[in-house]
Copies of this chain bind each other. A is one copy, B any other.
Amino acid sequence: MAVTKGERTRQRVLERAAAVFNERGYQATSMADLVEVTGLEKGGIYNHFGSKDDLAVAAYEHNTGILAAAVREAVVPLSGSLERLLAAIEVYRRFAHEPPFPGGCPTLNTAIESHGSDERLHEKAREVMRRLLGATERMVRRGIEDGTFPASVDARALATVIVGAIEGGLLLAEMYRDASHMDRVTEHLGEHLRSLAEEGSEG
Contact = CB atoms under 8 A, between A and B. Distances in A.
A163 interface: yes
A192 B167 CA distance: 19
A103 B111 CA distance: 12
A184 B157 contact: yes
Given A24-B117, A28-B27, A160 B171 contact: no
Nearest to A24: B116
B25 A171 contact: no
Given A112-B113, A113-B113, A166-B168, A160 B184 contact: yes
B172 A163 contact: yes
A143 interface: no
Given A111-B171, A164-B169, A168-B168, A103 B126 contact: no
A164 B175 contact: no
Nearest to A192: B192
Nearest to A23: B116
Total copies of this chain within the assembly: 4
Given A171-B111, A171-B112, A181-B164, A27 B24 contact: no
A71 interface: no
Interface string A132-169: 01000000000000000000001011001101111111
A117 B28 contact: yes
B108 A28 contact: no
A115 interface: yes
Given A115-B25, A116-B23, A129 B164 contact: no
Nearest to A104: B115
Given A111-B171, A167-B172, 8 more contacts: A25-B112, A112-B113, A126-B176, A160-B185, A164-B181, A165-B168, A168-B168, A168-B171
Interface of A: 23-25, 27-28, 103-104, 108-109, 111-113, 115-118, 122, 125-126, 129, 133, 154, 156-157, 160-161, 163-169, 171-172, 174-176, 181, 184-185, 187-188, 192
